[in-house]
Amino acid sequence: MIRTFETHKIRKTAELSSALWNFHTIGTQGEEAVIQAPVPGCWENYPDTVSYRGQASYSREFEAKGNIRLEFKGVSHTASVLVDGKPVGSHYNAYTPFDVVLKDIRPGIHQLEVIADNSFGPDSALHVPNDYQSYGGISRGVVLEELGEAYLSWIHFTPFLRKDGWYGKAEICVRNLSSGRLDGSVEVEIGKNSFAVLPIVLEGEEEKSFSTEELPCPWAECWSPESPVLYLITAVLRTADGAADDIIDRVGFREIRTEGKDILLNGRKLRIKGFCRHEDHPQFGCALPFSAMQHDLMLIKDLGANSIRTVHYPNDELFLDLCDEQGILVWEENHARGLSEENMRNPHFKQQCGDCIREMITAHYNHPSIYIWGILNECASDTEYGRECYSEQYELIKSLDPYRPRSSASCRFKTDICLGYPEVVSYNIYPKWYHDVPVEDYLDELYQWIQNESEGTGKPFLITEIGAGAIYGYRTPAHVKWSEEYQVQALKEQLQAVFSREGCSGVYIWQFCDVRVCDSWFGSRPRTMNNKGIVDEYRRPKLAYEVVKDSYRSLGNYF
Question: Per the annotation, where are the binding residues for alpha-D-galacturonate?
Answer: 131, 312, 337, 377, 434, 465, 525, 530, 532
Q: What are phi and psi of 503, to 5 degrees?
A: 95, -5
Query: CB burial class (10 A; 0-12, 13-18, 19+) of residue 554?
Result: exposed
Indicate the annotated binding residues: 131, 312, 337, 377, 434, 465, 525, 530, 532
CB 331 within 8 A of CB 371: yes
Convert 80-91 into a string of H (helix), E (strand) and C (coil). EEEECCEEEEEE
Neighbours of 463 (CB within 10 A): 28
Convert 32-87 into a string of H (helix), E (strand) and C (coil). CCCEEEEECCCHHHCCCCCCCCCEEEEEEEEEEEEEEEEEECCEECEEEEEECCEE
Which parts of 303-365 fold into alpha helices (H)? 317-326, 341-344, 349-364
Which residue, among 394, 391, 414, has the nearest Cα to 405 in the 3D structure?
394
Q: Is 361 left (phi over 0), alpha (psi -120 to 50) or beta?
A: alpha
E strand intervals along 93-230: 98-117, 137-138, 142-147, 150-162, 165-176, 182-190, 193-202, 207-211, 215-216
Rg (CA), the chain: 24
Under 8 Å CB-to-CB from 156, ≥6 apart: which residues? 170, 171, 172, 365, 366
Under 8 Å CB-to-CB from 53, ≥6 apart: which residues? 118, 119, 120, 136
Omega into 335 within 30° of 0, i.e. cis? Answer: no
